[in-house]
Structure formats: structure tokens, C-alpha cells
Structure 1
Amino acid sequence: MKSDPSRPLPQRTIGILGGMSNQATSHYYSQLNDRLNLEYGGWDNGEIVIVSVNFGNIERFVRHGLWDEAKAYLDEKITRLEGAGSDVILCVSNTMHQVVAPLMEARSTPFIHIADPTGDAIKAAGLKKVALLGTLPVMNSLDVIKRFQEKYDVTIIMLDDSDKLIVDHIIFDQLVRGDLRAESKAEYLRIVEAARAQGAEGVILGCTEIFLLIDQTDLPSFPVFDTASLHIDAAVAFVKTHKA
């Protein structure tokens, strides 16, 4: 029997810096494979390397503002991903882009910044003002606000400080554990409606676990930009356009 000359299928390898949280990491892995299977058909999906960190370390770094410690910790994990043959790297956490993005600027391996597919989608939708849900470091990040403003001409509508605390609490104490509560969903939807009343034309789900709680079906007349889903789509596009 003749072997298939196209086998093994030449593909780029996607490197996932995961564990932030395991909820997001498993979603990335399953969705990347599902979406690549739609592209290739048959039994084909993705070639993926995952380096998954201990979320307990991440939680401590973030809650205590230990960004130098986080940088050193994740720098070594990125080196592992590159050593395993990653052709492109994704960080599954919006929050940890604060340290991962600068680290990747000093490396040659392609890196897809999670904000960029989202900015492209907002720009394509013709929107100028959007709300942002995420952890406190993301919602308060001047770098994030500046990136959307300067690259995509998108203004971030700021939430009330009390609502920011609610959003952050639900992420860290519930969503990363897969703890989904109806009252938390109601709070998120209330907060989105408050931002809408302040002029927001859409909302960014700027944490890769928020999709567990709310999505476009909950806000049918209000554009929802899920950073996790858009990030995954960008990785699939990279694999399709960069042949091995």
C-alpha cells in the first residue's frame, strides 16, 4: 500500500502559554483543534504545544503586583515553548500580556497579542467606543487603553470603580474555578448596560474566562467582542497563511 505523500501534513506548531487559568487553556486547545478541523477536514486538526503554569503563582503575582516575579517566572516558560518548536506563541491570559508582550518583543518567535484581533474586529464593525470587562490590571491598564486608542481609534469607556471590583472578584473567585452563578451573570449584564448608558457601542470580554458567563446571545443587540475567540481565530489564520 502506497503511503500518502502529503503525510505527515506540514503544519506550523502553535505554542500555548497556558494555565491562566485551566478553564481558558482547555478552551483554547479544544477550539483551536475544532476550528482547524473545519479548515482541513477529515481527521486533521492542530499541532499544539502547551506549557501550563501553576495558577496559584499567577494569582499571587497579580493580586500583589509582583510583576517582576511574574516576568521571570513566565520568561522561563516561554523558553520552554520555543524549545519545543513553537512557530507562534499565544498567551491565554489578557492580564499576563502585561509581562509576556514585552518579553516577546525581545524574541524572534511570532507572537499574537490578544488585543490586536479584538481591535481589528472592533474597527471592522465601525465602532469607536467600547466597554472593557477584565481583571483590575487590565481594566486599569494605560497600555491597554493606549493600544486600542492609537492602533484602532477605539476609546475605552471606563467602568465605575465599584463595578470594576465586582468584575474582578467574579473572575478570580469564580470563573477561573469554573464556578458559574446566575447572580454573577446578572451583575455582568447590569454592568454592561450601565456602560451602554454611558455611550459604549459594544463590550470587550477582556478576560479569557468571561465567555463562560456571558456571550453575544445574552446581548443580541449589542456587539460583544470575545478576546479568547478572536485570539483563537487569529492563530488559525496564522497556521493557514504560514505554511510549514
Structure 2
Amino acid sequence: MTRRVLGVLGGMGPAATVDFLAKLQAATPAGSDADHIRVVMDLNPRVPDRHADPEGAGAELGRMAARLRDLGAEVLAMPCNTAHQHRAEIEAASDLTLIDMVAETARAAVESGARTVGVLATPGGERLYAAALETAGAAMVIPTDADRARLMGLIKGVKAGDLGTEARAGMAALAGLLVQRGAQTLIAGCTEVPLLLDRGNAPAPLWDSTEVLARRCVAVCGAGAA
């Protein structure tokens, strides 16, 4: 079995990156340590803000990708949906393929049979999912401006360590509003969202973009017992 070394561009945010690594480990059908994916990672919480300074973010992500390549990475993953707007810079700087978590998650949601998909994401993530879902043949439901402000507040809270009951209830309520507006399934389209919303409290079938990315990494990197 051909094994590939995975390079992870992390830190956006740190808790989401740790969640990704846990889901990567859990998704691997391993019988021993040696069956798991070899990972080289740059957990860099100082990547410039993807909304306020996209040019700076793209440049730093390109440098990170090149360093990961030099450390032996053969394929890249990035557990941050919004930062996928910089996929071109990342691949150009490293000459490596970045597994596209947005496209993979949109495809998984549509292949489940849903034709109207609710997306909980940052404004930048919404734009990426709008294109990916259109390509996959589905309509998208997103929060209203007021609800998006609430969503961003919850996302910032996760980055500050708030994973409490009230925050979980708030995220579930936002998901419920998308279902009321016609969403047949939901996408956790920001990697902080599944830290508050999971299959236990989601009001409709949920596609966790972090989990989708982890499973795709396992497939691409050839992990698991031979």
C-alpha cells in the first residue's frame, strides 16, 4: 500500500486543528501505531485574519505550505474552510495538492440526496460553499444578517474557549432556523461550528466539514492496516 505524508496547515484556530487531528486518528482503520498517517504540521495561530487581511493571510499560508513540503509533506490539508480562498497560493507555493474540504463537504451533502443545504460558515466560507453547492447542483440556505452576527459571536467564543451549554444551545438554535427556512441537511462550514454542533444536537442531518476532511485524508494518504 502506498502511504503519503500529510502536511497540515493549522492554527485557524488551534482548537479546530486539534479536533481535526482527533477525527483523523478516529477515521483511520488502524491495528497498530504504524497504520496511522504520518503528519507534519504547522499550527500557526498568527496567520493574518482571513477577512481583514486576505493578502497577508495568503502569503503566510503559502510560506507554511512550502515549509511543510520541505519537511516531507506529499499532500496538504487545512482545517479552516475560509482559508480555502487561498488554495491557489498554497498550491503554487508548495507544488502540492491541497485537499479541498469545501468541495468534499458540499459533494457529500448533495450525494446524500439533499437539494437544499443549510450552511453555517463565516462570510468568506459562505462564498466558497455557494460556488461548491452550485457546482454540485444544490441550493444554499444561510443565516440572515442578524443571525450571522450571532454565529460569528459564537465562533469567536469557541476561539476564546467557550464550549459551554449556552453556546451549544445557541448554535443549535441557529441551525434550527435554517431548517425552518427549508434546509434538508446542514453543513458545519466553519471548523469551530462542530465544536458546538454535532449529530446529538443538530436539528437535521449534519455534515461536519472537519470530519469529511479527515476521512478524505485517510483515503488519499493510504492509511490503515494493510
Q: 1:103 aligns with which of 55, 66, 89?
A: 89
TM-score (structure 1 length as normaliser): 0.84
Q: Which residue number in structure 2 is paired with residue 48 of structure 1? A: 39
Structure 1 31/191 Cα, relative in aligned 2: closer, same or farther at 3 Å? closer
Moved more, 157-166 or 112-121: 112-121
What SS is found at the alignment partner of 1:51? strand
Amino acid of the structure 1 residue aligned with 2:32: G
Amino acid of the structure 1 residue aligned with 2:88: P
Distance of 1:199 and 1:10 partners within structure 2? 43
Q: Which residue number in structure 2 is paired with residue 197 of structure 1? A: 180
Q: Which residue number in structure 2 is paired with residue 160 of structure 1? A: 144
Amino acid of the structure 1 residue aligned with 2:59: A
Amino acid of the structure 2 residue aligned with 1:236: V
Q: 2:13 aligns with which of 6, 21, 40?
A: 21
Moved more, 11-20 or 43-52: 43-52
**In the alignment, is the contact (CA less than 8 A) between 2:62 and 2:89 conserved in 1?**
yes
Deviation at 1:204, TM superposition (A): 0.6
The unaligned stretches of length 5 or more in structure 1 are 1-8
Distance of 1:228 and 1:159 partners within structure 2? 20
Distance of 1:136 and 1:72 partners within structure 2? 21
Distance of 2:134 and 2:68 partners within structure 1? 31
TM-score (structure 2 length as normaliser): 0.90
Deviations 1:76-112, CA, capped at 9 Å, x for gaps: 111101111111100111111112x121453531221
Q: 1:147 aligns with which of 125, 132, 136?
A: 132
Q: Which residue number in structure 2 is paired with residue 62 of structure 1? A: 50
Identity %: 24
Q: Which one scores higher on RCO, CA 8 angstroms, separation ≥ 6?
A: 2
Deviation at 1:10, TM superposition (A): 6.1
What SS is found at the alignment partner of 1:216? coil
Deviation at 1:223, TM superposition (A): 0.8
Alignment of 1:80-91 (within 5 A): 80-91=67-78
Deviation at 1:201, TM superposition (A): 0.5
Deviation at 1:237, TM superposition (A): 0.6
Computing the radius of gyration from Cα coordinates, the structure with the larger value is 1
Amino acid of the structure 2 residue aligned with 1:199: G
Deviation at 1:158, TM superposition (A): 2.3
**In the alignment, is the contact (CA less than 8 A) between 1:129 and 1:202 conserved in 2?**
yes
Distance of 1:200 and 1:10 partners within structure 2? 40
Q: 2:79 aligns with which of 73, 89, 92?
A: 92
**In the alignment, is the contact (CA less than 8 A) between 2:7 and 2:41 conserved in 1?**
yes
Show structure 1 runs of 4+ deviating over 3 A.
none
Q: 2:192 aligns with which of 199, 204, 209?
A: 209
What SS is found at the alignment partner of 2:191? coil
Q: 2:107 aligns with which of 102, 105, 120?
A: 120
Structure 1 189/40 Cα, relative in aligned 2: closer, same or farther at 3 Å? closer
